[in-house]
Amino acid sequence: MALFRQTTWLLWKDLLLEMRRRESLVSMFFFAALLLFLFHFAFEFSTERAAEMAPGLLWLASIFTGTLGLTQLFQAERENHCLEALLLSPVDRGALYLSKFAFHLLLMCLMELFTFPLFGVLFNLDFWRLLPSLGLFAFVGTVGFCVLGTLFSAVTLKARARELLLPLILFPLMIPVILATIRGMEIILRTGELEEALPWLRLLIGFDVIFLTAAFLIFEWVIEA
Amino acid sequence: MRVVTRRLSKAYGFLWAVKDASLELHSGERVALFGPNGAGKTTLLKLLSALLSPSSGEIEIDGARLLPGSSGLRSAIGLLSPEGYLYESLTARENLRLFISLYARRREAREVAEALDQVKLSHWAEEYVSSLSTGMKYRLALAKWLLLEPKLLLLDEPYAVLDGAGVDLLEDYLERLCRGGGIVVMATHHVPAALSRCSRAIILDQGRIIFDEPRQEPWESFQRAFAAFLPRGR
């Protein structure tokens, strides 16, 4: 109960700060839209090739935009020594991790609610009836991104070139998530069926569960360092 | 409450900020911590608050070892610092509500209002912390500790940011805290103000404790020990 209460209060704090400052959400939205327009000008593909190309481009946009959000994730704590205030308090370090993970997941989901339809419009894709299945893959993949992204955002908190260091560390570790999400979405776009993509979904869920648990347990040492 | 440090040391690379600090603090003590710039006062306070992990040695509070993961012990420790430790884009009241919840204290809205009133920030309750002056932020931090009721309160240079009325508020609070069995450790350069109210004085120099005595009248040993750190001509 204490963990839930602390996580809720920390999440409330982050949501309130974001509503007032609008630093992460606005920059993520604009960056995602810009990327999609750039892809629209750079790539032209027929409806037949859409299944191959679309998932990769969508995920590139999500990951780059998500990384932008990760560099801002602990910004409030970096100001005015607020991270020390939290470390001084009896708050469970796991609650701090869970609140940041939940906050970033929420921002990513909001951003993807905007980018998916925009992508469909820009590339003239008829995938609206497949949106629930595609959305499921996107959500589980986004969870995996946020699990690792939150952890490494804390790891690189005091690094000087953290905007460069964070993607350098994070992207190689994201390969299983990227691969599974793109392959799964590709299968859904090609066949229209979720069942054939289930092995990739199981891989994603397994990855999310394992790394969420591991990140929650080791976060105390990461943040104290 | 009893706080014991045994050969507490903290190094930053090859530089020892605190070296072999052994102390025993008891309920009701008000300790003034003096020393020149870079003596290790702030480092010692951060070690006592578990914000820093010692390079060697240990800290015990009531027989339990203080470690970064000791959430129960951390709940009883407060640190009042000019660095603020408040969220700038939250209001004064929101900051207090947040920390009350994180410390699992049950405080009603009335008590929060009373704490703000005590530190003369009632009219600033709905203002963002970013719009407060440094002294007002310090008062707000004081209001936070009034509500959280720590048993060990560590203060870093409180007289540097507070005006006369603020100092009076602080002194009233510290007196109540010590009478209630709490321990106060204050690092400061304002020797007369701190010396007149402390029950014990410690002098740090280059990370080591060179003087540690309970209060005496007159206190010639302190004057001799501190003479080396006074400006020329005084």
Instruction: State pLDDT tens for residues A171-209.
Output: 999 999 999 999 999 899 888 888 889 999 999 999 999
Chain B residues in contact with A19 by the CB 8 A cut-off are none
- Residue A149: its pLDDT value, please? 95
Compare all CA atoms of chain B with the CA of A1 and give the residue at the minimum distance.
B104
* B154-204 tens-digit pLDDT: 999 988 888 888 899 999 999 999 999 999 999 998 888 888 899 999 999
Task: Read off the pLDDT band of A2 (50, 70, 90).
Answer: confident
Chain A residues in contact with B79 by the CB 8 A cut-off are 88
Task: Evaluate if residue A220 carries a pLDDT over 60.
Answer: yes
Asked if residue B120 lies in contact with residue B139, where contact means CB atoms within 8 angstroms, the answer is yes
Distances from the Cα of B226 to the Cα of A168, B41, B220, angstroms: 52, 15, 10
Structure tokens at B160: 């540097």
Return the minimum-mean-pLDDT range out of A88-97, B76-85, B92-101. B76-85
Question: pLDDT averaged over chain B?
Answer: 90
Task: Read off the pLDDT band of A65 (50, 70, 90).
Answer: very high
Structure tokens at B69: 């993961």
Q: What are phi and psi of B28, to 5 degrees?
A: 85, -5
Distance, CA of B12 to CA of A178 (rounded, Å): 40
- Residue B2: its pLDDT value, please? 93
Picking from A183, A39, A47, the residue whose alpha carbon sits closest to that of residue A127 is: A47
Task: Read off the pLDDT band of B231 (50, 70, 90).
Answer: low
- Residue A98: its pLDDT value, please? 96
Average pLDDT in the B229-234 region? 62
Q: Which residues lie closer than 8 Å to B216 by C-beta, 6 or more apart? A: B222
- Residue A110: its pLDDT value, please? 93
Pick among B47, B77, B85, B107 to test the A interface (most A CBs inside 10 A): B85
Distance, CA of A190 to CA of A180 (rounded, Å): 15
Instruction: Please give, rounded to a whole number of angstroms, the shortest distance from the CA of B36 to a CA of chain A.
Output: 24
- Residue B233: its pLDDT value, please? 53
* B127-150 tens-digit pLDDT: 999 999 999 999 999 999 999 999
Task: Evaluate if residue A3 carries a pLDDT over 80.
Answer: yes
Query: For the whole model, what pTM was predicted?
Result: 0.90
Structural domains in chain B plus CATH codes: 2-76+150-229 (3.40.50.300), 86-148 (no CATH)
Average pLDDT in the B17-37 region? 93
Task: Read off the pLDDT band of A40 (50, 70, 90).
Answer: confident
Please check whether residue B83 touches A, CB under 8 A: yes
Q: Write down the residue that tokens 């190094």 correspond to.
A: B11
- Residue A43: its pLDDT value, please? 80
Chain A residues in contact with B104 by the CB 8 A cut-off are 2, 5, 90
Distance, CA of B120 to CA of A43 (rounded, Å): 63
Cβ distance of B104 and A13 shorter than 8 Å: no
Q: Which residues lie closer than 8 Å to B126 by C-beta, 6 or more apart? A: B91, B92, B93
Average pLDDT in the B67-71 region? 77
Percent of chain A with pLDDT over 70: 98
Asked if residue B223 lies in contact with residue B54, where contact means CB atoms within 8 angstroms, the answer is no
Task: Evaluate if residue B234 carries a pLDDT over 60.
Answer: no
Average pLDDT in the A1-30 region? 91
Domain ranges of chain A: 2-224
Distance, CA of A203 to CA of B110 (rounded, Å): 52
Average pLDDT in the A68-92 region? 90
- Residue A225: its pLDDT value, please? 66
Cβ distance of A90 and B79 shorter than 8 Å: no
Task: Evaluate if residue B68 carries a pLDDT over 60.
Answer: yes
Distance, CA of B118 to CA of B122 (rounded, Å): 8
Please check whether residue B151 touches A, CB under 8 A: no
* A113-149 tens-digit pLDDT: 989 888 888 888 877 888 889 999 999 999 999 999 9
Average pLDDT in the A156-173 region? 88
- Residue B232: its pLDDT value, please? 61
Cβ distance of A87 and B68 shorter than 8 Å: yes
Task: Read off the pLDDT band of A52 (50, 70, 90).
Answer: confident
